[in-house]
Structure 1
Amino acid sequence: MITMEQITTSLCLFLALLLPLVLLGARRANGNGSGHRLPPGPWRLPVIGSLHHLVGKPHAHRAMADLARRHSAPLMHLQLGEVTFVVASSPAAAREILRTHESSFASRPSSSAKHAMMSSDGAGLASSPYGAHWRQLRRIYIQELLSARRVRSFRHVREEEVARLVAGVAVAAKAGEAANVSERAAVAVTDAAVRAIIGDRFQRRDEYLEGMAEVGKLLLGFSLADLFPSSRLAELVSGTTRRAEATRRKMFELMDCAIRQHQERRSDVDSEEDEDILGVLLRIHHDHEEGYEIPLTMGGVKDIILDLFLAGTETSAATLQWAMSELVRNPRILQKAQAELRDKLQGRATVTEDDLPGLNYLKLVIKETLRLHPAAPLLIRECGEPCKVLGYDVPRGAHAFVNAWTINRDPEHWADAEAFWPERFEFEARAVDLRGGADLEFISFGAGRRMCPGVAFAGAVMELALAAMLYHFDWELPAGVAPGDVDMEEETGVVVRRKNDLYLCPVVRVPPRAA
C-alpha cells in the first residue's frame, strides 16, 4: 500500500519528467472519446487523469466531498490513472447504486492488496466477488455466525469485558490520572470480539492490534499499482504486493495461533448453542455439512476470521472514541445522557444488557455519532454491467464510491448538519436505526446485498461500553483544554478513527463492582 503522501512524491517526479507532454495533452484529456455520457467532474491531465486533485489530501472522503460541491455533482466522474471512478455524494445517487442497480454493483473491486491478503483457497465475505461462493458465505454469516441468537449467547463476554474496562478506568480515577480512552475502548472491544470468535482472550492481542492497523491501511484502496494496473513500474514503486503478502503471512500466523489456542481450550462443547464463532467454522469445515455445496477450506476459515476481526473490532472501537470525543465537546449532551442512565439504574453497581432497551437518549447519541463519523466513510463497489445512474452512463468495470460521510452531512436532509445534536432523530421523526435511513440519507453500515451483516454484533458492545463509561464516571478534559479545543483529527484508513488518542480525566460517580 502507498500513502497519499508517497503518491504525491512519486507523481512530482513523474510530472517533472513528463511535464511538456502533460501540458500539451491536457485539453485533449478533458474530452470524452468513449461516446459515454459520463457524470461531470474536475479537469483531467493525461496519464494521471484527476489524481492531482486528490494528492496531498490524506482524507479521500473529504477531498471527494469538496470536489463534488465545487462541481455541483451528486454523481461525479473521476479518472484516477487508468481506472474510471464515479462518486455518489447524495442520497438519490446512493439509492440508484445500492438499490435500483444493486445487482450491477453487487461486487467490490479487487486490488493488489486484497488479492495478496487472501489465502490461495479462500476469501472472506468482504473480499469475495458476488456469486455462489459469496452467497454461501453470507448465509453462513447470517444464519450461523452473527444471528441474533448467536450474538445473545456472547452477552456474558461483553458484560465481563466492559466490567474490566470500567475497573481499569476506576483505578486511573483513584490515582488522579488521565485515562487513555481510545486505548481502553480498543482493548475492551477487541477482547470482547476475540473471545466471541475464539472463546478466549487472545494471548497475542498486542500483535493482533498492530496487524489490524496495518490491514486497515492496506485496504484503503489508493495504490499506484491499482490505479495503473498495466504498469509493472507502478507495482515496483508502490510495493503494495510485497507489503500485503508480508502482512498476510503475519496475520495468518496469528490466525494459526488463535486456532491452536481455541483447540487447546475448547476441545468439547455441550451443544452448538455454546459454540464460539471459530468452533462453528471448524464444524462446517470438518463435517462438510449438508446445505453448503462449496467446501469451506481452512484458508476460507482464516479469511473469515480476519474479516470478523477487522469488522468486529475496528468499527466499534472507532465509534466509541468518536462518541466520547463528541460528548466532552458538548457538555449539555453528556450530562443529559448521564442523567438518563443514572435515573434508570438508581445507583446499581453494574450496567447490564437488561438495562439497555429503555435508554432512548443513549441510542440517539450513538446514531448521531455514526452520522457524523461513519466508521467506513467510503462504500466501494464495482460496476459489473453498463447502466445509467441519475441519467449518466456508468461503464462496466467502473469503480463506484458512495461517500457516506458527505451524505450523512447533507444540509438538504439534515438541519445544522455539522452540529452534534442527537435530538434530531427524535424531533425530526426519522425512522432511522443503526441499519440506516429508508431513503439512504443516513448510511453507517452500507445498504443492499453488501450491507455489513454484523450490525447487531457491533451495536451490542458499543452500546454497553458507552453506557457503562457514562454511568460510572464524570469526564473532565485535561487542564487547559476547553470543549471547543478537543482534537478531532482523523486517521487515514479503511476505518476512520481518531488520529491521536483521546485522554480524559475520569471522576468516579457510581462506584463499580470489582471486576
Structure 2
Amino acid sequence: MTSSLFSSSASLSTYYHLIFTVLAFLLSALIFFLTQKTKSKHHNLPPGPQGWPVVGNLFQVARSGKQFQDYVKDMKAKYGSIFTLKMGTRTMIIITDAKLVHEAFIQKGALYASRPPENPTRNIFSANKFTVNAAVYGPVWKSLRRNMVQNMLSSTRLKEFKSVRDKAMDKLINRLKVNAENNNGVVIVVRDARFAVFCILVVMCFGLEMDEEKLERIDQVMKNVLITLDPRIDDFLPILSVFFSKQRKRALEVRKEQVEFLVPFIEQRRRAFQNPGSDQTATTFSYLDTLFDIKVHEGKKSTPSNEELVSLISEFLNGGTDTTATAVEWGIAQLIDNPEIQAKLYQEINSIVGDKKVEEKDVEKMPYLQAVVKELLRKHPPTHFVLTHAVTEPTTLGGYDIPIDANVEVYTAGIGEDPKLWSNPEKFDPERFLSKGEEADITGVTGVKMMPFGVGRRICPGLAIGTVHIHLMLARMVQEFEWSAYPPGKKIDFSGKMEFTVVMKESLRAKIKPRGETLK
C-alpha cells in the first residue's frame, strides 16, 4: 500500500530525539558525502528554506515542534504557491495553488501520474508496488485500475450491491440504538460508522457473508498493517536503516500474519468462483472474482499470486473504510455544532421520504444533503496531502524545474481553505453551494477548488462508492436520531490529528435521541 508520506499519527517531531541520537553518525556521513566528487545537474527548483547538508530540512521540521501540515502552512505563507523542502534524500516539491494543481494533474495528467520510490519496507505490503495506488504509471497500473473501476466500481456494478448496503445501514442504526441504550444515550460515532462501511466492503471484496467475529479479526489485521506503515526517519535517510532492523522484522511478521490470515478466504472464494453454488455463504459476485484471471504482468502470462491478491484486497478494504468513517464523524460533529443545519437537513429528508427509510434513489432528490456532504469534503478532506506523485520525465511548473526523482505533494487545505477561491472558507456553510452560487467540480476536470479524492489520472477510483456511503449514512443517521453534544453544552473541538486519515483529535462522543422524543 502507498499513502502520503505523512498519512500517519506520527509527526516528524516525534523523531526529534532520534535524530540527535544519531547525530554523530550523520556527521560522519556528511564528511563522506562532502568529500565525494560527484557531479549532478543543477535544477532550478522552487524556493524553500535553506537546509543542512545530507539531512536537508529535517532538523527544522523536527525542531519546530509542529505537525508537518502546520509547518507546510507556515512555509506557504513565506514562499508562496509552490516551494521545496529537502527531507533527507527526498526532494519534496509542495503545491498549494489550485491553478498549478490543475495545470499539473489535469492539463499534463500523464506527465504527473507516477509514484516515487519508497522505503523497501513499505513495498512489502504492496507486493512490490502491485496495487492501484502504489504502482508506477504504466501497463500494470492501467490494467489494475481499469479492472477495479470497470468491473467493480462502475455505477452498474455498484447497484448490484444495493442490498448489501441496505443491510449494513440497518445494522448501523441498530448498533447505535443498542450502544445508546447501554450508555445513557451516548455513542462513539466513528466506531459504529467504521464497522458499517467495513461490513459492506468485506462482502464486496470476498463475496462471502461473515460473522461479526471474523469481521473484527480481518479489521484488526488491516489495522496492524496501517500501524506498521507509520513514517520513520529512515524513510528520508535510508542510510539509517541499519538502526531499524527490528521495525523491518516486525513489518515482515505483520505481512506474514496478513497473508496467512487472508489466503484461506481467498481460496474459499476461489472454490466458490470455480464451482458456482458450492458455497452457500458466497454472493454472486466479488472483487476477488475480477482478479483471479487478470493478466497484468508485462511480458508474462501468469495471474496474480496469493500474496499479490492479499495486497490488492487490503488496498480495497483500507482505502474505503477509514476515509468514509472519518468523513461521517466530521459530518456529525458539524451537524451538532450547527443545529440549524441539522434541522434543515432533517426537514428535507422528512419531506422527501416521510416515514420510509431513506434509500439511495432518494439522495438524488435531496439538494441540501448533497450540499452538506460537499461542504463536509471541502472543509474536512480525508488527508492533508494527496498521495505522493512523481513525474515520468523532467518538466517545469510555475517556472521551476520538476525532476523525475522529486516527490510532488499537494497540500489540500491550502486549496480548500483558500480565501481567493471561497467566501468565508473557515465557516461550515452548505448554502455556499445553493443560494450563494458557489460551485466546485469535485473531480477537478473543469477547475480545481477542492480535491478530497485527488484529481487527474490518479484520482481515487473509489470516489463514487465513497460519496454514496457518506450520503446514505448521514441521511439515515439524521433521519433516525437527533444529535447533540456530550456532555450537554460541550463545545465541539475541531482539532484534527493524522492517523491513516485526518481524524478528530478527540473521538466524537455524541448524545442521540430517536426522532420524535424530546431532548432531555
Q: TM-score, normalised by structure 1?
A: 0.87
The Cα of 1:219 is off from its aligned counterpart by: 4.5
Q: Which residue of 2 aligns with 1:216?
A: 226
Distance 2:373 2:104 in 1: 26
Q: Is the 8 A contact 2:197 2:321 kept in 1?
A: yes
Question: Which residue of the other structure, out of 274, 278, 281, is the alignment partner of 2:288?
Answer: 278
* Structure 2 residue identity aligned to 1:455: L
Distance 2:138 2:352 in 1: 48
Of the structure 1 ranges 34-43 and 315-324, higher mean CA displacement relative to structure 2 is found in 34-43
Q: Is the 8 A contact 1:225 1:240 kept in 2?
A: no
Distance 1:410 1:239 in 2: 43
Distance 1:507 1:261 in 2: 42
Q: Which residue of 2 aligns with 1:488?
A: 494
Question: Which residue of the other structure, out of 127, 130, 135, is the alignment partner of 1:123?
Answer: 130
Would you say 1:331 and 2:342 are equivalent positions?
A: no
Q: Which residue of 2 aligns with 1:205?
A: 215
Distance 1:58 1:238 in 2: 28
The Cα of 1:442 is off from its aligned counterpart by: 0.8
Would you say 1:169 and 2:179 are equivalent positions?
A: no
Distance 1:337 1:419 in 2: 17
Structure 1 segment 362-377 matched on structure 2, within 5 A = 362-377=369-384
Q: Is the 8 A contact 1:96 1:390 kept in 2?
A: no
Would you say 1:103 and 2:85 are equivalent positions?
A: no
Evaluate the alpha carbon distance shift between residue 133 and residue 264 of structure 1 in structure 2; reply closer, same or farther with a 3 A threshold: closer
Q: Which residue of 1 aligns with 2:406?
A: 398
Distance 1:252 1:21 in 2: 38
Question: Which residue of the other structure, out of 141, 153, 156, is the alignment partner of 1:149?
Answer: 156
Q: Which residue of 2 aligns with 1:10?
A: 18
Q: Is the 8 A contact 1:172 1:506 kept in 2?
A: no
Of the structure 1 ranges 364-373 and 472-481, higher mean CA displacement relative to structure 2 is found in 472-481
Q: Which residue of 2 aligns with 1:226?
A: 235
Q: Is the 8 A contact 1:472 1:510 kept in 2?
A: no
Q: Is the 8 A contact 2:205 2:286 kept in 1?
A: yes
Would you say 1:385 and 2:393 are equivalent positions?
A: yes
1:155-204 CA deviation, whole Å, 9 max, x = no partner? 11111111111112223444533011110001111111111111223643
* Structure 2 residue identity aligned to 1:344: I
DSSP 3-state at the match of 1:491: strand
Evaluate the alpha carbon distance shift between residue 276 and residue 21 of structure 1 in structure 2; reply closer, same or farther with a 3 A threshold: closer
Evaluate the alpha carbon distance shift between residue 19 and residue 136 of structure 1 in structure 2; reply closer, same or farther with a 3 A threshold: closer
Evaluate the alpha carbon distance shift between residue 495 and residue 253 of structure 1 in structure 2; reply closer, same or farther with a 3 A threshold: farther
Identical-pair percentage: 25
The Cα of 1:470 is off from its aligned counterpart by: 0.4
Would you say 1:435 and 2:455 are equivalent positions?
A: no
Evaluate the alpha carbon distance shift between residue 294 and residue 80 of structure 1 in structure 2; reply closer, same or farther with a 3 A threshold: farther
Distance 2:506 2:264 in 1: 30
- Counting matched residue pairs gives 492
1:292-319 CA deviation, whole Å, 9 max, x = no partner? 9854313332221111011121211111
Distance 2:176 2:498 in 1: 28
The Cα of 1:405 is off from its aligned counterpart by: 2.2
The Cα of 1:383 is off from its aligned counterpart by: 2.6
Q: Which residue of 2 aligns with 1:361?
A: 368
1:439-461 CA deviation, whole Å, 9 max, x = no partner? 21210111111111111121222
Of the structure 1 ranges 160-169 and 485-494, higher mean CA displacement relative to structure 2 is found in 485-494
Q: Which runs of 5+ in 2 are unaligned?
A: 1-7
* Structure 2 residue identity aligned to 1:498: M
Q: Is the 8 A contact 2:93 2:408 kept in 1?
A: yes
DSSP 3-state at the match of 1:418: coil
Q: Which residue of 2 aligns with 1:29?
A: none
DSSP 3-state at the match of 2:276: coil
DSSP 3-state at the match of 2:100: helix
* Structure 1 residue identity aligned to 2:499: G
Evaluate the alpha carbon distance shift between residue 392 and residue 239 of structure 1 in structure 2; reply closer, same or farther with a 3 A threshold: farther
1:188-224 CA deviation, whole Å, 9 max, x = no partner? 111111111112236432233333334335556x432
Evaluate the alpha carbon distance shift between residue 318 and residue 36 of structure 1 in structure 2; reply closer, same or farther with a 3 A threshold: same
Q: Is the 8 A contact 2:113 2:458 kept in 1?
A: yes
Distance 2:448 2:229 in 1: 25
Q: Which residue of 1 aligns with 2:510?
A: 504
The Cα of 1:5 is off from its aligned counterpart by: 4.2
Would you say 1:83 and 2:90 are equivalent positions?
A: yes
Q: Which residue of 1 aligns with 2:101?
A: 94
* Structure 2 residue identity aligned to 1:445: F
1:224-277 CA deviation, whole Å, 9 max, x = no partner? 222123x1x33524855334323322222332143245457775269x993122
DSSP 3-state at the match of 1:429: coil
Q: Which runs of 5+ in 1 are unaligned?
A: 27-31
Structure 1 segment 279-358 matched on structure 2, within 5 A = 279-282=289-292, 284-285=293-294, 295-298=302-305, 299-348=307-356, 350-358=357-365
Q: Which residue of 2 aligns with 1:410?
A: 418
Q: Is the 8 A contact 1:117 1:247 kept in 2?
A: no
Q: Is the 8 A contact 2:259 2:310 kept in 1?
A: yes
Question: Which residue of the other structure, out of 44, 49, 54, is the alignment partner of 1:47?
Answer: 54
Q: TM-score, normalised by structure 2?
A: 0.86
DSSP 3-state at the match of 1:381: coil
* Structure 2 residue identity aligned to 1:281: L
DSSP 3-state at the match of 1:505: strand
The Cα of 1:347 is off from its aligned counterpart by: 2.0
The Cα of 1:46 is off from its aligned counterpart by: 2.2
DSSP 3-state at the match of 1:393: strand
Evaluate the alpha carbon distance shift between residue 324 and residue 430 of structure 1 in structure 2; reply closer, same or farther with a 3 A threshold: same
* Structure 2 residue identity aligned to 1:213: K
Evaluate the alpha carbon distance shift between residue 269 and residue 301 of structure 1 in structure 2; reply closer, same or farther with a 3 A threshold: farther
Distance 2:245 2:336 in 1: 40
The Cα of 1:407 is off from its aligned counterpart by: 1.1
* Structure 1 residue identity aligned to 2:509: Y
DSSP 3-state at the match of 2:124: helix
Q: Which residue of 1 aligns with 2:455?
A: 447
The Cα of 1:95 is off from its aligned counterpart by: 1.8
